[in-house]
Structure 1
Amino acid sequence: MCKAYRKYDFDHHYGILSRRIPDSTRTLTTIGLNKWSRHHADRVRYAYLTTISAESMNALSVHARKLPVTMLLEFFRASVQQWFWEHRNTAAGLTTPVTHMQSVNWVKEIFFALPCGHVMAVARYFVLHEVTTHVQKYFTTETYKSAYMEDINPLDHIFEWIDPGNLQTVRPPLVTK
């Protein structure tokens, strides 16, 4: 809720918190909503997430975009395969109910995905040890492991591809001024 831009989002999640832990919302209100809530902030005080997925992929593939399309596709396939391998290995070592991702800054930009630091501090103040119940299922170790369990296999060499016989040749468009 501390990351909410819209009043509706803030009010919705603040209401949920006040029903579950009323003392926490009284404490947060006493502190001052403008000191910890993005929606109530007097000025821009936090780094906002502005990069979209397409921009990230463009930055990743800046050198590969000049390659022939088959090599570009192979670059993306190999990149995804590498990511899955790394995340699968990371997931195999997790032993907590919530993933390690809770400490990564970009994850905290997702609205209400994890209890923000302020809510965690209030939970500790009221000796509420089980804060993982407030974490969305997307950040549980079980979901993290299931997201990366599938294999991404490399393509066979082009000479080993099966030709169905009905393929059309696609030519680039004619470019005129």
Structure 2
Amino acid sequence: MVIVDNIHLKSKYKGTMIVGVVMDGYNQQYPLAYAIVDSENDQALKWFMTNLKTAIEECPNLVFVPYRGQSIANVVDIVFLNSYHGLCTFHLKRNMEKYFKDEAIRKLFHDACRVYRKLEFKHHWVQIVNYKNGSLARYLEDAGIQQWARCYQSENRYDNMTSNSVECFNAFTKEPRVLPITLLLEYTRGLLQGWFHDRQIVWSNSTSPHPISAEEIMGLECEKSRQCRVNPIDCYRFHVKDGRLDGIISLNTRECSCKQFQCLEISCSHAIVAARERNINPFTLCSKFYSVDSLVIAYAESINPLGHVSEWKKPPGYTEVKIFHRKEWYMLVDKG
């Protein structure tokens, strides 16, 4: 899932930084691309997205979550024809609170947007419909239920329901944004150089096949599975009773009626019980995304320094242009 945001620069040169961030298997920020443009407009966004597509191509199950504004979503639909874009549930919730001036709707929305089953969603939706004669329900329908309700999303967001990752990246670059653009770009490049180096060392020396974050999720699901009972249906399918809505699990297709298994691509409690019944390691049913090997590959390439400007390779026909500071430009104008 790619989070895209526009960051307004604070230097006297103005401009906007466009950033695309994803999350790795350890739930760490993995910046895909960043660029400085003159202003926040459709032309600049389309240029950024077109170059991003050249770099990552049209990946399957590609999800974009724009931080704010419809303009990014519109450009995504034009450039990435087969992708899906959702809404940041945090900002949608905050907008609702401002519009309705009532913090009570926070829990109503949170409970509805994060459930995996449509049956559970409908239970919460009834409460939303009953709020102020259906005004909240109409507001959320206009926003597009598929864009924020997990059980109705057509592609996986891997539990990333908000744009927190790009906000964290914004925080890292908050102070350097007052610098001239070239220094800001060099600072950002140096920041990523450090991140990639440190993570290369960590994951290449890891003795565990999975990061701690994945093991913690599996640990919670294992604890839940202790209360479950399993009834085999055939060689691959099982009926797992959990005391609630139960689950029908298929090990060969890696799907469960609870929807959590295929949504997160990590074994749910029903899958763990079924795997034990067949003496299968539940971790082997999880996506490779949650493996240390995938993290090693993700950080295999290094972020290199640019070197001194005098040593940069210049294309044929290159002409050096003097860029004046605003103060210098005014001095030249005064001299006539």
TM-score by length of 2: 0.32
Partner of 2:294: 143
**Structure 2 vs 1, CA of residues 142 and 171 (structure 1 numbering), >3 Å: closer, same or farther?**
same
Identify unmatched segments of 5+ residues in structure 1.
1-35, 173-177
Partner of 1:158: 309
Amino acid at match of 1:66: V
* 8 Å CA contact 1:97, 1:132 repeated in 2: no
Partner of 1:57: 169
| Range with greater deviation from structure 2 (137-146 or 91-100) | 91-100
Amino acid at match of 2:185: L
Q: Distance in 1 between matches of 2:216 and 2:308?
A: 38
- The correspondence for 1:113, drawn from 261, 265, 271, is 265
Q: Distance in 1 between matches of 2:284 and 2:324?
A: 55
The two structures, once aligned, show a CA RMSD in angstroms of 3.7
* 8 Å CA contact 1:92, 1:145 repeated in 2: yes
**Structure 2 vs 1, CA of residues 140 and 126 (structure 1 numbering), >3 Å: closer, same or farther?**
same
More strand by share: 2
**Structure 2 vs 1, CA of residues 168 and 103 (structure 1 numbering), >3 Å: closer, same or farther?**
farther
Partner of 2:284: 133
The CA deviation string for residues 133-175 of structure 1, in whole angstroms up to 9 with x for no partner, is 2111112222211111111111212343344433556789xxx
Amino acid at match of 1:56: C
**Structure 2 vs 1, CA of residues 143 and 38 (structure 1 numbering), >3 Å: closer, same or farther?**
same
- Alignment identity in percent? 26
Q: Which has the bigger relative contact order, CA under 8 A and spacing at least 6?
A: 1
**Structure 2 vs 1, CA of residues 135 and 48 (structure 1 numbering), >3 Å: closer, same or farther?**
closer
Amino acid at match of 1:113: E
Amino acid at match of 1:115: S
Identify unmatched segments of 5+ residues in structure 2.
1-113, 126-158, 218-259, 326-336
Amino acid at match of 1:78: G
